[in-house]
Amino acid sequence: MKPIITAFENSPDGGQGLARDMRVRWAMEEVGLAYDVRLVSFKSMKQQAHTSRQPFGQIPTYEEGGIVIFESGAIVLHIAQHHPGLLPADEPGQARAMAWLFAALNSIEPTIVERERVYFTERDESWYRARLPFIDEQIRSRLDPLSARLGDADWLDGAFSVGDLMMVMVLRRLEPEMLAEYANLSAYVARGERRPAYQRAFAAQKAVADAARAG
Amino acid sequence: MKPIITAFENSPDGGQGLARDMRVRWAMEEVGLAYDVRLVSFKSMKQQAHTSRQPFGQIPTYEEGGIVIFESGAIVLHIAQHHPGLLPADEPGQARAMAWLFAALNSIEPTIVERERVYFTERDESWYRARLPFIDEQIRSRLDPLSARLGDADWLDGAFSVGDLMMVMVLRRLEPEMLAEYANLSAYVARGERRPAYQRAFAAQKAVADAARAG
């Protein structure tokens, strides 16, 4: 039985790999796990058949045998802990990879998503433009130490891990102009995007978006 | 060798249990793990001895044998996966508890922390009060489905787990008035606070704050 994930029938990003199923697709491609996809519409995501699996009415979810979970972080960690390829062999290294996974989701992503969120909900308000420097300062206060820590290494802690996978995914949501301020983070994201597993996952989610557009 | 965590020498909350070392203390009390604490000042947190362990210059960190990690989510999950008491025995249940841990940190906490953050950085700006309804709507958009899912259960998924521990911690950061809008979430937080392990952890972090105040 292949795992089944859920993804947008019609992704808001049109297949740029920003929807959160991309994280899970990438993780499964890295460990060589074949999977099926159940597409959900914006309407069906809010109905009980889906919210019983994802209480917030979002994607992705992951089902495999008796396991039914949500939260892209939990899903990729579950995959990493059950299949070789996304965690180091040694326990201290595994713990550090887990720390970077949580850092991507809890120390970096919220500041980046907040900038997107105010664009969607407050861009017509009088304060929208005046506030952007406050938001950008908050984002840079996290990117500065991240960039310093990465230095000229390829990955955050030795070999590519689930922590890098999530960090690359999160950094891809940045405004391109801001990512460009950090040469090593830009190269880091590009390095992730060049991985064959990333490219297979990207192509798979883009095929869905292309099919939706073709109607 | 007992694990060593870091905590504020002088916590900004004065010992109300809102600093993130509380999450780790509570987890260790739940599983019966004795620990030592290294206190850090706002100045020493930004110095290399600390940032080598915590790249963002924050607390807590966790050191045990060769393991050195940061991010409260990674630390409590590491504890939960190595000591009985915070995860169910069955694998599907473990995966669901992990999903709730990530949900607390990635789906709930960011909206709550953003409200605190703008208070600290934008409360003197002309738009501050006008924006609060936007932020509160965002918080409620996450609390509504959380409250619906919890219903009249004691915990989010069967027995108390690492997911409940983190969710209670995150909900404690809410404005009391907003938490009070959700009777079942208020009772859920109170239920967490009544656990003996919570109370021991709370007393330990408060003793540090009281000592700092006494000078």
pLDDT, tens digit (0-9, with 9 covering 90-100), for A133-153: 999 999 999 999 999 999 999
From B70, B72, B121, residue closest to A134, measured CB to CB? B121
Order of strands across the sheet with B36-40?
B36-40, B4-8, B61-64, B67-70
Q: Which of A77, A73, A75 is nearest to A63 (CA)?
A: A75
Best A23, A45, A51, A56 member to test B by mutation, with max B CBs in 10 Å, is A56
Q: Where does chain B hold its CATH 1.20.1050.10 domain(s)?
A: 91-195
Q: What is the rounded CA–CA span in Å between residue B96 and residue A20? A: 18
What is the reported pLDDT for A81? Answer: 97
What's residue B186's pLDDT? 98
Confidence of residue A1 (pLDDT cuts 50, 70, 90): confident
Using CA atoms, how far apart are residues B70 and A70, in angstroms rounded to an integer?
24
The two structure tokens encoding residue B68: 């050195």
Q: Do residue B125 and residue A122 have CB atoms under 8 angstroms apart?
A: no
Q: Which of B106, B169, B173 is the best residue to mutate to test the A interface, defined by the most A CB atoms within 10 Å of its own CB?
A: B106
φ and ψ of B17, to 5 deg:
80, 20
Q: Does B148 touch chain A (CB under 8 A)?
A: yes
Residue B57 has pLDDT above 90, yes or no: yes
Which band of pLDDT confidence, cut at 50, 70 and 90, is reported for residue A215? confident
Give the mean model confidence (pLDDT) for residues A50-57: 97
* Bridge partners of residue B62, in order along the sequence: B5, B69
Q: Which residue of B has its CA nearest to A52?
A: B149
Mean pLDDT of all residues belonging to chain B: 97
**Would the CB atoms of A102 and B146 count as touching at under 8 Å?**
no
Q: Which of B99, B110, B130 sits opposite A110 (nearest CB)?
A: B110
Residue A76: pLDDT above 90?
yes
State the average pLDDT over residues B87-115.
Answer: 97
**Residue B12 has what pLDDT?**
93
Confidence of residue A178 (pLDDT cuts 50, 70, 90): very high
Mean pLDDT of A16-32: 98
Q: Which two tokens stand for residue A108?
A: 């970096």
Does domain B91-195 correspond to CATH entry 1.10.3720.10? no
Span A90-103, pLDDT tens digits: 999 999 999 999 99
Closest CA to B155 of B112, B104, B205, B84: B104
Note the CATH number of domain B4-85+197-214.
3.40.30.10
* Burial (CB count <10 Å: 0-12, 13-18, 19+), residue B21: buried
Q: Which of residues 174-213 of A touch B (CB under 8 A)?
A: none
Three-state secondary structure readout of chain B? CCCEEEEECCCCCCCCCCCCHHHHHHHHHHHCCCCEEEEECCCHHHCHHHHCCCCCCCCCEEEECCEEEECHHHHHHHHHHHCCCCCCCCHHHHHHHHHHHHHHHHHHHHHHHHHHHHHHHHCCCCCHHHHHHHHHHHHHHHHHHHHHHHCCCCCCCCCCCHHHHHHHHHHCCCCHHHHHCCHHHHHHHHHHHCCHHHHHHHHHHHHHHHHHHHC
Mean pLDDT (whole number) for B54-72: 97
For the four alpha carbons of A149, A83, A200 and A114, in that order, the dihedral sign comes to: negative
Residues of chain B with CATH 3.40.30.10: 4-85+197-214
How do residues B21-48 score in pLDDT, each as one tens digit? 999 999 999 999 999 999 999 999 999 9
**pLDDT surpassing 90 at residue B215:** no
What's the mean pLDDT in B93-99?
Answer: 98
Contact call for A122 and B110, based on CB within 8 A: no
